[in-house]
Amino acid sequence: MPLIETKKALRSALSNRAPGSLLGLVPTMGALHDGHLALVRKAVSENDVVVVSIFVNPTQFNNAGDLESYPRDHETDLALLNSVSEQLLVFVPPVAEMYQEGLHAKTYDFGGLEKVMEGAFRPGHFNGVGTVVEMLLRAVAPQRAYFGEKDFQQLQIIKSLVAQLELPITIIGCPIVREADGLALSSRNKRLSEGVRKEAPFIHATLKAVKTQFGTKNASSIEEWVKESFEKHPHLELEYLTIANERTLLPDAKIQDDQKYRAFIAVYADDVRLIDNIALN
């Protein structure tokens, strides 16, 4: 499987494609799991050539400790990718290749999508995501790029990025992949202690209960109920539970029949920050 480290080598590998062939991109930060592999499988089934990028992007971490402890396992990642397809082009640029003019993020205006939830609790995070995704989309110039719905806010922001940059790229969101007990797959799950791992499925169980209550109770009493439920779990600290319109990512004063809603949650499982979400209607 060819490993590509520079944009120049990437351009050269891509220039050998048959005319009219379809190109897909799956951007990742490595520490791959079945959620990533589902994106890669979908990309392989829908395109002639697929690039998977593995790049732990420093500018999207608002916490140096989080960047430091982010799991990295290159060898396992490559073996997993190889098990999906031996034809993938794997782009693994060093930081200096991506940030040739210094480690700075651009500033974007995503119309408010970047200000709530993850944006509010992780200042600067979406400028970092926007910067690296713009670089990757420009370097690869795919027809389609694939992202998981676990980071639903990120997905909406990337759709907004592509629209404002007028890039001819379709952004494809793929469903959350879960463990059998409901915990959403995440590279950060590897850092959970055994005891906390046993408690963590409570996050998804709570989202399912929120879905059941949606439509019969109002959002603020559901949110209050969730806060109280988490107080019984000392290892799980609720950061936020928000019921929001999928399009604006803001709560609506009144639920509209023609709009889609989702519940979004962020929880510290001891020192590991986990996020999840569920479609409500």
Task: Provide the binding-site residues for ligand PAF, judged by CB under 6 A.
Answer: 27-29, 57, 60, 129, 132-133, 151, 154
The interaxial angle of helices 7-15 and 125-140, nearest 10 deg, is 40
Pick from 55, 57, 54: nearest CA to 89: 54
Distance CA 190, CA 73 (A): 11
Cβ of residue 174: shortest distance to ligand PAF, in angstroms? 12
Q: Whose Cβ is closer to ligand PAF: residue 161's or residue 210's?
A: 161
Distance CA 144, CA 119 (A): 25
CB-based contacts of 258, cutoff 8 Å, min separation 6:
none
Cβ of residue 90: shortest distance to ligand PAF, in angstroms? 14
Q: Whose Cβ is closer to ligand PAF: residue 60's or residue 206's?
A: 60
Cβ of residue 136: shortest distance to ligand PAF, in angstroms? 8
Q: Whose Cβ is closer to ligand PAF: residue 186's or residue 223's?
A: 186
DSSP run (H or E) holding 266: strand 261-269
Q: Whose Cβ is closer to ligand PAF: residue 57's or residue 160's?
A: 57
Other Cβ atoms within 10 Å of 79 Cβ, number = 12
Distance CA 174, CA 27 (A): 13
Distance CA 61, CA 70 (A): 10
Instruction: Choose, from 33, 36, 74, 125, the residue flagged as catalytic.
Output: 36
Q: Whose Cβ is closer to ligand PAF: residue 99's or residue 202's?
A: 99
Cβ of residue 162: shortest distance to ligand PAF, in angstroms? 13
Does the active-site annotation cover 36? yes
Cβ of residue 53: shortest distance to ligand PAF, in angstroms? 7
DSSP, residue by residue, 42-97? HHHHH-SEEEEEE---GGG-S-HHHHHHS---HHHHHHHHHHH-TT-EEE---HHH
Residues known to be catalytic: 36
